[in-house]
Amino acid sequence: MISNQAYNSHLDLEANQLCFRLSGQIFSVPLRLVHDILKLKHFRSTRLPLAPSHVMGLINIRSQIVAILNLEWMLYQTSEESKAIGLLIDVKGESYCLAVEKVLGICAHQSLPRQSMNIIPPTWGDFVDGIVNDDEGTVIQLSMENLVEHFLDD
Amino acid sequence: MDDILNDFVAEATESVSQLDIIMLELENNPQNSDKIQEAFRVLHTLKGTSGFLGLNRLQTISHAAENLLGRMRDGAIEAQGEVINTLLITNDRLKMILTNIEKTGGEGDSDDQPILKTLHDLANPPQASEVSEKTKVDMPSVPVIGGENLADKNDAKAEVSPKPLPAIRIHVESLDNMVNLVTELVLVRNQLLSFSKSEVTPESNQVQQNCFNSINHLTSHLQEQIMKMRLQPISQAWTQVPRMVRDLCNTLGKKIELTQIGEETELDRQIIEMIKDPLVHMIRNSADHGVELPDDRVKAGKSPKGLITLKAYQEGNYVFVEVIDDGRGLDPEKLKEKILEKGLATASELSGLSAEDINAYIFAPGFSTASAVTNVSGRGVGMDVVKSNIEKLGGSITIFSTPGYGTRFRIKIPLTLSIISTLIVAHGPNRFAIPQANIVEVMRLKSATTKLRQLNNKPVVEYNNSLIPLYSLKEVLALEDVSEKYLVVIHSDTAIYALQVAEIHAIQEIVIKPLNKATNVHQYFSGATLLGDSSVALILSPSGFAPKSDNNHQIYVSPKIDRPDPKTLLLTFRCNDVLKAVPLALISRIDLLPRDALSKIGQQDVVVYDEKLVPLSYLAHIDDDQDSVSVLILNHHDRMVVLAISEILDVVISEIQVDIQRTDDKTLGSFLLKGQPISIIDCEAYLKETLVNWEDHSVEINSSRGRLLLVEDSNFFRNLMLPVLKIAGYEVVDFGCAKDALTFLEKDQDFDAIISDIFMPDMDGCAFVQELKSRGGFDRVPKIALTALDSDRDKERIYLAGFDSHVIKSDQQSFLHTLSHILKTHNANEALNDQ
């Protein structure tokens, strides 16, 4: 686990990040984008025929139809395990549900020095805002705007 | 911007737009003192309110304009020429300041002195000659609609704050109705909450059921009220048109009279906003490219003044807007040259196309027929954008043009974007909604197997004497392997095709919701919706599945020829112990009413429905102790009739294969459904019985047979007549417009009689029959006019055009009698000729 020091609990939406685990890696997204954390088993997902691989389906969240994005596929082009948690995020005025394995907590990393980017795969370059070394491992800060935009253009 | 300022801007913008219209009327009739007084009042109010709000620029300009109008009112100055021009330009300035206030909260800081001086000088005639020169310098020479050219650069630099959400005015009565409905809804909710805490007993179950009925009823009313509140008159999209046409006339040196018909036609507010720009573009096109210069018009034997007509009307769930000009029309040869020049098609491809298909090329991107690009109607990038904007609304645009006589653009747009009626189909766990307006027919695949064919290795199905493309939902959408049992025949605006689906669930009104952009939504879906169990269903796009104009499909697709034939969706219901059915297309709503809503006035049974007294007809006995009553609502034009029944059973898809014909005057016939006899009710008989204006006639049912061609533009009337004719033993091929019928008749002339409505858009019944006459080959086919026109003059026109008989539309029995008589006489004559 990441140390409690990293999980600074003051809720500055601009500065704080929501950390989560996916494929053994810890990622984070800006907290200001996250509107809700959902247990996906409580939602009935509808398959979208002919949908691109990164779209797992559609769900009804408070009468809004939201696409579930398979973040594992978006990053690794593979998807092995079913995802238990959905992060309801808002990117450029649209809501999406980001499927992840486990939410770890809120952390404030923005003041830490940005690490060299050469440890991440080159294809992730545009999707990563920063990398932070924590006691428990490396946290990759994702740029959801760039990530969603990239797949929107595909 | 605070609420008061917001309200002021909305009201003032409306008033200033009204001033434009008043000024144009004054230009045509300078002596109209009422209009001068009206304009004076508008400016006086604007001056007062803006002064109160500290809006100095508005106050000063409206004060100066008011002074000028005061002088006009006193007869010192005449309302013409320079005066009207100056007042119109003043309006533009007022609009610009209002736009600034709306965007930034401030008036902007441009220099109003030139305009103020002109207004002042015009109000004081001794300095008029000097003013004239000044005006030419200070005022823009080509005023452009909405004052776009007048926008001051300094104002444009003002800091832009987020645009406020658009607002509409709502009648207090509508809000009161809403509040009442919500109050009732809250009461029902409280009732339900109290039951959730109490023990379940048979009595509480019944009361609970009543609560659900009430919720059902209240929700329908709320939906209706809210949708009504969103409807606004289409004239809101037209307010700028008279001014624009006037300015275009000045710029182009043309004379154009603008006629507006149907400005009270209502449309969803959002749609009105979205069609404004396409309409403006089309009218500019008509004025620029369509209407000729006065000299050219005189040479062509026309009046020097051209005519542009803007027309709107509602038909079913659609509103049609037409832009018609009496100009030069589209020249097919010139169009062909352009098409070839732009490389949009080859000469061989063009050789096989009809004039209508060639005209459709004006919607191609970058297409322009104007020999010189002008600053009025764009640069050839307009009509494709117009078309795509209209298609985004779920609408379509068609063009009709006669060289030398003019052009008519017809836009078809849905009444509302939010809620549509759909057929829910299922494939395994997936459910899809198909817009009901696009469904022609639903049939079992089993019954259609004999009609399935292969053409160019592609599946097609025989339908109404044509081969239409056949698609499998499973294959197109790569769905799981579930056997498909039904065929849904769908028409889009460009083609008709059949779609194989696994299951048919129900007809349901759905709320359209957009799909996420990141889903990379492809052509097959136009949105999504939430079903009753909160799951998501995708809305299939009728045009998404439609065959594209590749050569393979052009071989066998006959777009627009086959018309919808909605006879097969039947609503079944129980009336005491008797099973009955009615074509679903004839029912406008199904409802459950409280027993006490039913009463009697004199001999007439009535029901309180939608806060109105509506005639009621009992199809079933209703016990006094019943709490609620199931009803069907028939709606024809503004008339409504409620039919009380025992219970709604189902919606079934069935061919009407009538086994037993009419047994009484309110039954069209009976047939076996799942082994049980079921009678189809005669809606017209109930409408006649309950509505005073529907006369009763009793003539025996015709038993002769024949193949009929029916042309009728009213969907309702077609839906009413088709089962009647079929049950009477006729085979009917029906069309919604005469042009489609003519196209069909080119390949199939085998009809025993041709029946046509008279008053139809595009081509009326008389022109249709005259065209048949000129083509030849139909001299011996009886032609019957089925119309509401009954004056001697109308009849004379109808017979002169070539009709053999004339029958009044509302008289079904007389129609069947006449038809039988005509066919018997015709057959006898044919037999004599053969001998």
pLDDT tens for residues B424-435? Answer: 999 988 999 998
Tell me the Ramachandran region of residue B818: left when phi exceeds 0, alpha when psi lies from -120 to 50, beta otherwise: alpha
Mean per-residue pLDDT, B109-128: 79
Mean per-residue pLDDT, B728-752: 85
Q: What is the DSSP letter of B217?
A: H
Angle, vertex CA B443, rays to CA B746 and CA B479, nearest 5: 110
User: Quick one: tokens of B118?
Assistant: 């002109």
Sheet of strand B676-681, all strands in order from the earlier edge strand to the far edge: B647-653, B569-575, B578-583, B676-681, B667-673, B660-661
For residue B701, count other CB atoms closer than 10 A to its CB.
16
DSSP state string for B271-339: HHHHHHHHHHHHHHHIIIIISPPHHHHHHTTS-SSEEEEEEEEEETTEEEEEEEE-S----HHHHHHHH
Count Cβ atoms within 10 A of the Cβ of residue B781 and give its class: 0-12 exposed, 13-18 middle, 19 or more buried. Answer: middle
Contact yes or no for B524 and A50 at CB 8 A: yes
Separation of alpha carbons A19 and A35, rounded Å: 14
8 A C-beta contact, residue B754 and residue B782: yes
Residue B228 has pLDDT above 60, yes or no: yes
Give B749→chain A minimum CA distance, Å: 44
Chain A residue with CA closest to B473: the answer is A49
**β-strands B628-636, B587-594 pairing:** antiparallel
Separation of alpha carbons A23 and B10, rounded Å: 55
Q: How far is CA B115 from CA B38, B42, B48, B234, B680, in A?
A: 22, 19, 20, 33, 72
Mean per-residue pLDDT, A28-50: 89
Write down the pLDDT at residue B559.
Answer: 32
Give the number of beta-carbon pairs within 8 Å between A and B.
70
Residue B696 has pLDDT above 70, yes or no: no
A66 - beta bridge partners? A59
Crossing angle for the helix pair B241-252 and B3-28, nearest 10 degrees?
Answer: 50
Contact list, A55 vs chain B (CB under 8 Å): 518-520
Residue B472 has pLDDT above 90, yes or no: yes
Write down the pLDDT at residue B158.
Answer: 41
Q: How far is CA B48 from CA B43, B88, B314, in A?
A: 9, 20, 40
pTM: 0.49
Reported as a single tens digit per residue, the pLDDT across B89-104 is: 888 888 888 888 888 8
Write down the pLDDT at residue B6.
Answer: 75
Whether A37 and chain B come into contact, CB under 8 Å, resolves to no
Mean pLDDT for chain B overall: 77
Classify B530 as helix, strand or coil.
strand
SS (H, E, C) B176-208: HHHHHHHHHHHHHHHHHHHHHHCCCCHHHHHHH
Nearest to A48 among B429, B519, B530 (CB): B519
Task: Quote the radius of gyration of chain B (alpha carbons, Å).
Answer: 31
Write down the pLDDT at residue B703.
Answer: 40
Reported as a single tens digit per residue, the pLDDT across B123-180 is: 877 654 444 444 444 444 334 333 334 334 444 444 444 455 566 777 788 888 889 8
Residue B372 has pLDDT above 60, yes or no: no
Contact yes or no for B535 and A154 at CB 8 A: no
Tell me the Ramachandran region of residue B320: left when phi exceeds 0, alpha when psi lies from -120 to 50, beta otherwise: beta
Write down the pLDDT at residue B537.
Answer: 92
Contact yes or no for B516 and A96 at CB 8 A: yes
Contact list, A47 vs chain B (CB under 8 Å): 429-430
Nearest to B513 among A46, A65, A152 (CB): A65
Cβ neighbors of B496 (< 8 A, separation 6 or more) are B440, B463, B466, B468, B489, B490, B557, B558, B559, B562
Separation of alpha carbons B733 and B722, rounded Å: 9
Reported as a single tens digit per residue, the pLDDT across B320-333 is: 899 999 898 888 88
Separation of alpha carbons A66 and A54, rounded Å: 13
Separation of alpha carbons B441 and B564, rounded Å: 7
Give B114→chain A minimum CA distance, Å: 45
DSSP state string for A7-18: S-----TTT-EE
Residue B15 has pLDDT above 70, yes or no: yes
Q: What is the DSSP letter of B110?
A: -
Reported as a single tens digit per residue, the pLDDT across B531-540 is: 878 789 999 9
For B727, the enclosing helix (H) or strand (E) is: helix B715-727
Separation of alpha carbons B530 and A3, rounded Å: 43
Q: Taking the mean position of all CA atoms in its chain, how far away is CA B19?
A: 30
Write down the pLDDT at residue B638.
Answer: 56
Maximum mean pLDDT: which of B550-554, B557-561, B652-656, B702-706: B652-656
Instruction: Of B430, B535, B523, give the one whose Cα is nearest residue B481.
Output: B430
Reported as a single tens digit per residue, the pLDDT across B578-634 is: 888 887 767 777 777 888 888 877 777 888 776 677 888 888 888 877 888 888 887
Residue A30 has pLDDT above 50, yes or no: yes
- End-to-end alpha-carbon separation of chain B, Å? 89
Separation of alpha carbons B104 and B9, rounded Å: 12
Chain B residue with CA closest to A67: the answer is B516
Instruction: Of A45, A85, A50, give the one whose Cα is nearest residue A61.
Output: A45
SS (H, E, C) B421-444: EEEEEEECCEEEEEEHHHEEEEEE
Separation of alpha carbons B465 and B423, rounded Å: 25
Give me the sign of the Cα torsion angle B550, B552, B553, B558. positive
Residue B655 has pLDDT above 70, yes or no: no
Grade residue A68 by pLDDT with cuts at 50, 70 and 90.
very high
Grade residue B700 by pLDDT with cuts at 50, 70 and 90.
very low
Whether A69 and chain B come into contact, CB under 8 Å, resolves to yes
Grade residue A115 by pLDDT with cuts at 50, 70 and 90.
low
**β-strands B612-618, B639-645 pairing:** parallel
Contact list, A65 vs chain B (CB under 8 Å): 513-516, 528, 530, 536
Nearest to A148 among B513, B518, B534 (CB): B518
Reported as a single tens digit per residue, the pLDDT across B34-69 is: 888 888 888 878 887 787 778 888 888 888 888 888
Contact list, A49 vs chain B (CB under 8 Å): 430, 477-479, 524, 538
CA atoms within 13 A of residue B672's CA, in its CB half-sphere: 4
Whether A58 and chain B come into contact, CB under 8 Å, resolves to yes
Contact list, B535 vs chain A (CB under 8 Å): 44, 46, 60
Mean per-residue pLDDT, A89-94: 84
Contact yes or no for B528 and A58 at CB 8 A: yes
Instruction: Of B384, B493, B388, B489, give the one whose Cα is nearest residue B445.
Output: B489
8 A C-beta contact, residue B9 and residue B104: no
Contact yes or no for A94 and B516 at CB 8 A: yes
Reported as a single tens digit per residue, the pLDDT across B657-671 is: 555 555 567 777 777
A8 compared with B667, residue with greater pLDDT: B667
Chain A residue with CA closest to B515: the answer is A65
Classify B573 as helix, strand or coil.
strand
Write down the pLDDT at residue A79.
Answer: 76
Residue A55 has pLDDT above 50, yes or no: yes
Write down the pLDDT at residue B371.
Answer: 47
Whether A42 and chain B come into contact, CB under 8 Å, resolves to no
Whether A44 and chain B come into contact, CB under 8 Å, resolves to yes
Maximum mean pLDDT: which of A14-23, A65-74, B504-513: A65-74
Residue A99 has pLDDT above 90, yes or no: yes
Q: Taking the mean position of all CA atoms in its chain, how far away is CA B526?
A: 19
Cβ neighbors of B173 (< 8 A, separation 6 or more) are none
